[in-house]
C-alpha cells in the first residue's frame, strides 16, 4: 500500500537561504507530502498549521556525489542495501541529505552486487539515496591512487550493457555516475554510456587536453576530485586540469579537506573556472561517523591520523571529510562567500546529476531536503523528503 500523505507543517524561526539567492527573515518553509509547498511570511501562516521553531540558518540539504563509506562501513566491502543505509545515516549527521554510494575499482562480480544493492535500496526508499557512482575500474593504472592496479581493466561490451541497462532501469530522480580515464576508454564506449543516460566524469587519468575534448564532445561532463590522481597543469601540457579549467561547461569535484589539495591551488582553480561549476565532494571513507582509526581497503591497512587517511606508503586513501566540514573549510580558506559555498554543496552537484528540479535548493515543488545550521555552521537538524531528525539528539525524529 502507498502510505498516506503526511500532514503539512511549517518550519519557522530560522534565516532561510531561498532559491533566489537571498536570505529571508520572518518567513517559514511549508512542507507537505515530502515536498516544499511554499515559502511564506510568518504572518501569513494559518493558526491550524503545525509549526516547528528552529534557530540559526535553514539551507538546502547537501549533495555528495562521491561517498565511499561512513559509520564504519565501506561500500566495496558491504554492497548491500543495509550498507548503503548505514553510510547515508552516518553522513546525514553532517548535513548530507542526498548521496551516491561510491564503488571504487573492484571485480565485475562486486560491481554487479553493488548495482543490485542500489536497486534494492531504491525499492526500500533508503533516505537520501540518489543512485550510484562507479569510480573505476576503467582507469589509468599510472594514476591509480589507492585503487588496486590488479583490478583496473579495459571496458567491455558487457560492462556497457550492464551499466546502461542499470541507468535506464532507475526511476526518475536517480542518477548513475561513472568515473573513467578518457585515454583508456574508446570514444564510442563513452558515447554509448552517455546515450544510456549515464553521467560521465574523468578521473584517475593522464589524458591530454585533446583527448579530454573528444570525450567531452562524446558526453563526458565532469572531473572527479580535480588535481588528485591526474598530472599537474604545465605550460605545454595542460592535461586534464587545464582542460577542466578552460571548459566553462564542465563540472569539477573538489575535496576541501586541506590535505588533498592546497588551498592556494583550489582558490586559483575557482578564480579560473568560476565557482558555479565547482562542487564539494567528500570522497569519504568508513572513519567518518566512526570512532575507528583503521580499516582495510583492498588488503591494505588504512590509518586515520591528523585528519588524513593513508596507506603505509603514505598514499592518500580517500578522506575523513564530511560535507559540513567541507562547507566550513571552503568559507574559511578559499575566500568563497557562505551563499556560494552552500550552492557548491547543494545546487551545483544537483545540476551535475541533472536532478536540480528535484533537489539542491529551497523552492516550491522541490523535495524537502533541508539542513539547519547554527552560528558555527554545525548541523543541528536535517530533513529528507520532509522527515526530520534533530541531531542534538540523533535518536529522536520530528515530522508532522
Query: Cα separation of 212 and 218, whole Å?
Result: 10
- Predicted confidence at residue 394, as pLDDT, reads 43
Cβ contacts of 193 within 8 Å, gap of 6 or more: 160, 163, 164, 178, 200, 219
- Predicted confidence at residue 397, as pLDDT, reads 34
* DSSP code per residue over 102-137: EEES--HHHHHHHHHHHHHHHHTT-TTB-EEEEE-S
Domain-wise residue ranges, the chain: 9-59+362-398, 62-352
Which pLDDT band holds residue 396 (cuts at 50, 70, 90)?
A: very low
Active site residue 283: yes
Query: Cα separation of 185 and 189, whole Å?
Result: 7
Query: Cα separation of 222 and 228, whole Å?
Result: 14
pTM attached to this predicted model? 0.95
Which pLDDT band holds residue 6 (cuts at 50, 70, 90)?
A: confident
Helices 338-345 and 323-333 meet at what angle, rounded to 10? 150
- Predicted confidence at residue 48, as pLDDT, reads 83
Nearest alpha-carbon partner for 329 in 299, 297, 307: 307
Burial state string for 316-354 with b = 16 or more CB within 10 A and e = fewer than 16: bbbbbbbbbbbbbbbbeebebebebbbbbbbbbbbbbbe
Average pLDDT estimate for 83-101? 98
Query: Cα separation of 172 and 124, whole Å?
Result: 15
Which pLDDT band holds residue 20 (cuts at 50, 70, 90)?
A: low
Which pLDDT band holds residue 22 (cuts at 50, 70, 90)?
A: confident
103 — phi, psi (to 5°)?
Answer: -100, 115
In sequence order, what are the beta bridge partners of 389?
A: 382, 397
In sequence order, what are the beta bridge partners of 382?
A: 371, 389
- Spatial contact of 87 and 114, defined as CB atoms under 8 Å apart: no
Residue 224: C-alpha distances to residues 157, 186, 242, 245, 331 (Å): 24, 19, 14, 13, 21
- Predicted confidence at residue 142, as pLDDT, reads 97
Helices 187-195 and 209-218 meet at what angle, rounded to 10? 30
| CATH code of the region 9-59+362-398 | 2.30.40.10
Average pLDDT estimate for 382-398? 75
In the chain, pLDDT over 90 holds for what percent of residues?
A: 93
Query: Each residue of 148-190: pLDDT tens digit?
Result: 999 999 999 999 999 999 999 999 999 999 999 999 999 999 9
Average pLDDT estimate for 233-242? 96
* Active-site choice (283, 320, 322, 385): 283
Q: Which residue reads 597543469 in cell numbers?
A: 233
In sequence order, what are the beta bridge partners of 20?
A: none
Query: At residue 55, does pLDDT exceed 90?
Result: yes
Which pLDDT band holds residue 4 (cuts at 50, 70, 90)?
A: low
Q: Is the peptide bond before 188 cis (omega within 30 degrees of 0)?
A: no
Query: Each residue of 322-378: pLDDT tens digit?
Result: 999 999 999 999 999 999 999 999 999 999 999 999 999 999 999 999 999 999 999
Do 9-59+362-398 and 62-352 agree at the fold level?
no
Minimum mean pLDDT range among 260-269, 304-313, 388-397: 388-397
- Predicted confidence at residue 47, as pLDDT, reads 83
Report residue 262 as a C-alpha cell.
592546497
- Predicted confidence at residue 138, as pLDDT, reads 98
Calculate the CA dihedral of residues 88, 89, 92, 98 and round it to 10 degrees: 30
Query: Each residue of 254-301: pLDDT tens digit?
Result: 999 999 999 999 999 999 999 999 999 999 999 999 999 999 998 899
Cβ contacts of 181 within 8 Å, gap of 6 or more: 138, 139, 140, 143, 202, 203, 204, 205, 206, 207
Pairing of strands 62-67, 23-24: unpaired
Query: Cα separation of 302 and 299, whole Å?
Result: 9
CATH superfamily of 62-352: Metal-dependent hydrolases (3.20.20.140)
Query: Cα separation of 263 and 51, whole Å?
Result: 41
User: What is the rounded average pLDDT for all residues in the chain?
Assistant: 94
Average pLDDT estimate for 123-127? 97
Cβ contacts of 288 within 8 Å, gap of 6 or more: 69, 70, 71, 90, 91, 94, 282, 320, 321, 322
Amino acid at each position: 500500500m502507498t502510505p498516506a500523505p503526511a500532514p503539512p507543517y511549517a518550519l519557522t524561526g530560522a534565516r532561510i537561504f531561498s532559491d533566489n539567492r537571498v536570505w529571508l527573515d520572518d518567513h517559514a518553509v511549508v512542507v507537505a507530502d515530502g515536498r516544499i509547498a511554499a515559502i511564506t511570511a510568518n504572518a501569513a501562516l494559518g493558526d491550524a498549521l503545525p509549526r516547528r521553531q528552529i534557530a540559526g540558518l535553514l539551507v538546502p540539504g547537501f549533495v555528495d556525489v562521491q561517498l565511499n563509506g561512513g559509520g564504519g562501513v565501506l561500500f566495496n566491502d558491504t554492497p548491500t542495501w543495509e550498507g548503503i543505509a548505514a553510510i547515508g545515516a552516518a553522513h546525514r549527521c553532517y548535513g548530507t541529505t542526498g548521496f551516491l554510494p561510491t564503488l571504487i575499482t573492484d571485480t565485475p562480480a562486486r560491481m554487479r552486487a553493488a548495482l543490485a544493492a542500489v536497486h534494492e535500496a531504491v525499492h526500500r526508499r533508503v533516505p537520501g539515496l540518489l543512485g550510484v557512482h562507479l569510480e573505476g575500474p576503467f582507469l589509468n593504472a599510472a594514476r591509480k591512487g589507492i585503487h588496486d592496479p590488479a583490478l583496473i581493466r579495459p571496458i567491455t561490451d558487457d560492462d556497457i550493457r550492464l551499466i546502461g541497462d542499470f541507468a535506464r532501469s532507475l526511476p526518475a530522480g536517480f542518477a548513475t555516475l561513472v568515473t573513467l580515464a578518457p585515454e583508456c576508454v574508446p570514444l564510442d564506449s563513452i558515447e554509448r554510456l552517455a546515450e544510456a543516460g549515464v553521467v560521465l566524469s574523468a578521473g584517475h587519468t593522464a589524458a591530454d587536453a585533446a583527448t579530454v575534448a573528444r570525450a567531452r564532445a562524446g558526453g563526458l561532463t565532469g572531473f572527479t576530485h580535480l588535481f588528485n590522481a591526474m598530472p599537474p597543469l604545465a605550460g605545454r601540457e595542460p592535461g586534464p586540469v587545464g582542460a577542466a579549467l578552460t571548459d566553462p561547461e564542465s563540472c569539477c569535484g573538489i575535496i576541501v579537506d586541506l590535505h588533498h589539495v592546497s588551498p592556494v591551488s583550489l582558490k586559483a582553480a575557482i578564480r579560473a573556472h568560476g565557482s558555479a561549476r565547482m562542487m564539494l565532494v567528500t570522497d569519504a571513507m568508513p572513519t567518518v561517523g566512526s570512532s575507528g582509526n583503521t580499516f582495510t581497503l583492498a588488503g591494505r591497512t588504512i590509518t586515520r591520523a591528523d585528519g588524513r587517511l593513508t596507506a603505509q606508503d603514505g598514499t592518500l586513501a580517500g578522506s575523513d571529510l564530511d560535507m559540513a566540514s567541507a562547507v566550513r573549510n571552503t568559507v574559511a580558506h578559499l575566500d568563497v562567500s557562505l551563499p556560494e559555498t552552500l550552492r557548491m554543496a547543494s545546487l551545483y552537484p544537483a545540476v551535475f546529476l541533472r536532478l536540480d528540479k528535484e533537489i539542491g535548493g529551497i523552492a516550491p515543488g522541490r523535495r524537502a531536503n533541508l539542513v539547519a545550521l547554527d552560528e558555527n555552521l554545525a548541523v543541528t537538524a536535517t530533513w529528507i523528503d520532509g522527515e526530520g531528525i534533530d541531531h542534538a539528539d540523533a535518536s529522536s525524529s520530528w515530522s508532522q
